[in-house]
Homo-oligomer: A and B are copies of this chain.
Amino acid sequence: MSGKKLRVIPLGGLGEVGKNMMAYEYGNDIMLVDTGIMFPESDMLGVDYIIPDFQYVVEKKENVRGIVITHGHEDHTGAITHVLEQINAPVYSTRLTCGLLEVKLSKAGMLDQVQLNTVKAGDLVHIGPFKVEFFHVCHSIPDSVGLGITTPAGLIVHSGDYKFDHTPVDNWPTDYAKLAELAGRGVLALFADSTNSDKPGWTPSERVIDSAFDEVFRSAPGRIIIASFASLVSRMQQVGNAALRHGRKLAFVGTSMVENARMARKLGYLDLPDELILPIDQALRLDPKEIVIMSTGTQGEPTSIMGRLSTGTNRQFDIIPGDTVVLSSHPIPGNEESVYRTINRLFRRGANVIYEAIAPVHVSGHASQEEMKLLLHLVQPKYFVPIHGELRHLHQHANIARQVGIPAENIAVVENGQVIEFENGEMRLGERLPGGWVFVDGASVGDIGISVLREREAIARDGFVLVNLTLNRDSSSLVCDPEIITRGFIYNNNVDDLVEETRHVVSEALKSDHNGSLQNDLQQTVKSFLYGKTKRRPMVFVTVSRE
């Protein structure tokens, strides 16, 4: 099948194309790029998270020469343990990313079995037939890289998540020179981040957050509580810098944030003096005007610190009037309602809440339209494949590429599972692999599918009704009143009349003849009766025992 051509495959189901995992395959050699998770959409009831379906690679696991991780965010790293459980291959990433992977692997007790290789921007690594050049890109986590991949079929540029920030917090801009140098060698194809393809202009620099923080620190009458992602190391730096400028002490709360801060300081990615940082219990003893607390919980998760603060159920401290809460984050699509609900609740408890819509306390880590044009001009690829986005983002990114002169026929908008082949300097679409999402729920991976989710949805819409009958063995008459249990259907205090009527309907139905099974007939009867009365369709189960 794969012959001697380069095959590039975004893996996973519907969702963001190639965001979580991509395979580069040439002959009998495969290199994986990223091993991320997806967060469930709101109708995926009970699902904890989703990993890409990488069965295609598992079947060829002997061919996998290496796994490259571009940066330390969950949607690029979160499935690492699931992948390494099935595929034994060395992992390549920069130091900070490697540190974050180590935290994950050591939690899973897998650190000893895994070969983690640290690379740095500028390095060239041979992974099977692929010569991979790592180049620095700005993103909302330090030490992010894009890849120049020299393959026997030609040179590919894989952008990773990127933006062109001229004044990033770590003063390390995206490597324009390397992009130009790759272009000089002739780039066969560019695979580039489409996340913000519907955002006009240029994404603001992380630096704008400094002034927003200064304004907050100047006017806050009491404590400042700043929520962000645990992996947003540059935001920790910015909060720390603001605390230094305004004479406050900084306390991190939440295991993942505390751990990541410790690791990032150890590795030198977070430059904060020891005397700035206090444990939370000490910080809480200071005057409210002397502290800033940094925590996770920006997505309205009820069990997160911000979630608990909003409902008055946090263990170590509560919101007090005069607190200023800053959500230095953007709601992940689908979380808007719960984020805004949390904000409303924090206001109700007396906090002043400052969030993205009110002040520039967050900026995106992804390139906007003008940056996308710049990347296309810098790289000058023959072919262009927009990745990292929903289909609507990819189409818009394709529009942008046409605007800057890439011929429409040299642009491929594909979905996950679509094989893209390169041979003799030409791109064409190969087969579409089967595949999809793998849902992770509780302790199990992959035993939940769409059908189970549809069942959950159906039960959730109207609840269910159980009818337990005990019949006389001989006469099929009721020995006692049917037992009726409902959940999620109607109020208990309204249910009495309806239950009584349902019992009556069942008794009547028992008197008539039954063509099919008694159980099915009664289920249909009860369903129709309840729909007639309530216009709702609960699941109905009838059990019959005889004595």
Residues of B within 8 A of A353 (CB): 392, 395
* Interface residue ranges of A489-547 to B (CB < 8 Å): 489-491, 494, 533-536, 539, 541, 543, 545-547
A119 lies within 8 A of chain B by Cβ: no
In the complex, the chain B residue whose C-beta lies closest to that of A392 is B343
The reply to whether the CB of A444 lies closer than 8 angstroms to some CB of chain B is yes
Cβ-defined contact, A344 with B461, below 8 A: no
A487 at the interface (CB under 8 A from B): yes
Q: Are A459 and B488 in contact (CB-based, < 8 A)?
A: yes
Alpha-carbon distance between A545 and B336 when the two chains are bound, in angstroms: 48
Interface window among A1-9, A172-180, A268-276, A463-471: A463-471
Q: How large is the interface on A (under 10, 10 to 19, 20 to 34, 35 or more residues)?
A: 35 or more
A452 at interface, CB cutoff 8 A: yes
Known: A452-B463, A545-B468. A444 touches B490 (CB 8 A): yes
Q: Which of A443-489 contact B (CB under 8 A)?
A: 443-444, 447-449, 451-453, 455-464, 466, 468, 470, 473, 483, 485, 487-489
CB distance from A537 to the nearest CB of B (A): 8
Question: A214 within 8 Å of B by Cβ?
Answer: no
The reply to whether the CB of A108 lies closer than 8 angstroms to some CB of chain B is no
Bound-state CA distance A539–B357 (Å) is 40
| A441, CB-defined interface residue at 8 Å | yes
Whether A347 is near chain B, meaning CB under 8 Å from some CB there, is yes
A333 B344 Cβ-Cβ under 8 A: no
Q: Which residues of B contact A396 (CB under 8 A)?
A: 358
Interface status of A75 (Cβ within 8 A of chain B): no
Q: Are B343 and A447 within 8 A (Cβ)?
A: no
Q: Which residue of B lies closest to A533 (CB)?
A: B443
**Contact status B468-A543, CB under 8 Å:** yes
A470 neighbours in B (Cβ, 8 Å): 545
Known: A45-B461, A491-B452, A541-B466. A534 touches B442 (CB 8 A): yes
Contact of A344 with B391 in the complex, beta carbons under 8 Å: yes
| A56 located at the interface, meaning its Cβ lies under 8 Å from any Cβ of chain B in the complex | no
- A333 and B337 within 8 A (CB): yes
Given A490-B452, A491-B447, A42 contacting B45 (CB threshold 8 A): no
Which of B340, B460, B535 sits near A460, CB closer than 8 Å?
B460
Are the CB atoms of B333 and A334 closer together than 8 Å? no
Inter-chain contacts of A352 with B (CB < 8 A): 395
Q: How far is the CA of A494 from the CA of B452 in the complex (A)?
A: 12
**In the assembled complex, A46 has its CB within 8 A of some CB on chain B:** yes
| Nearest CB in chain B to that of A449: its residue | B491
Shortest Cβ distance from A537 into B: residue = B442
* Residue A215 at the chain B interface, CB threshold 8 Å: no
Q: How far is the CB of A262 from chain B (nearest CB, A)?
A: 28
Contact partner, A545, options B355, B392, B464, B545, Cβ 8 Å: B545
A281 at the interface (CB under 8 A from B): no
**Which residues of B lie under 8 Å from residue A336 when comparing CB positions?**
333-334, 336
For A457, what are the chain B residues with a Cβ–Cβ distance below 8 Å? 460
**A210 contacts B by Cβ under 8 Å:** no
Q: Does A41 contact B (CB under 8 A)?
A: yes
Whether A442 contacts B340 in the complex (CB less than 8 A), given A358-B396, A391-B348, A447-B490, comes out as no
Given A358-B198, A488-B456; A547-B473 close (CB under 8 Å): yes
Q: Which residues in window 172-225 of A have CB below 8 A to B?
A: 198-199
Given contacts A395-B347, A452-B490, A460-B456, contact A443 B546 (CB under 8 A): no
Assess whether A390 is interfacial by the CB under 8 Å rule. Answer: yes
Which single residue of chain B is at the shortest CB-CB distance from A455?
Answer: B488
- Closest B residue by C-beta to A341: B41
Closest to A494 in B: B447
Kindly state the separation between the CA atoms of A449 and B452 in the bound complex, as whole angstroms: 26
Determine how close the nearest CB of chain B comes to the CB of A135; give it in whole angstroms.
30
Question: Given contacts A449-B491, A466-B541, could you give 13 more A-B pairs where the C-beta distance is less than 8 Å?
Answer: A42-B337, A46-B488, A344-B391, A352-B395, A441-B536, A442-B462, A443-B534, A444-B534, A447-B491, A452-B489, A464-B464, A466-B543, A487-B539
- Please list 24 pairs of residues, one from A and one from B, whose beta carbons are closer than 8 Å in the complex, sorted by A's number: A14-B344, A41-B341, A45-B461, A46-B460, A198-B357, A199-B357, A334-B336, A336-B336, A344-B390, A344-B391, A358-B396, A442-B534, A444-B534, A447-B491, A449-B491, A452-B490, A455-B488, A458-B488, A459-B464, A459-B487, A468-B468, A473-B547, A485-B541, A545-B547
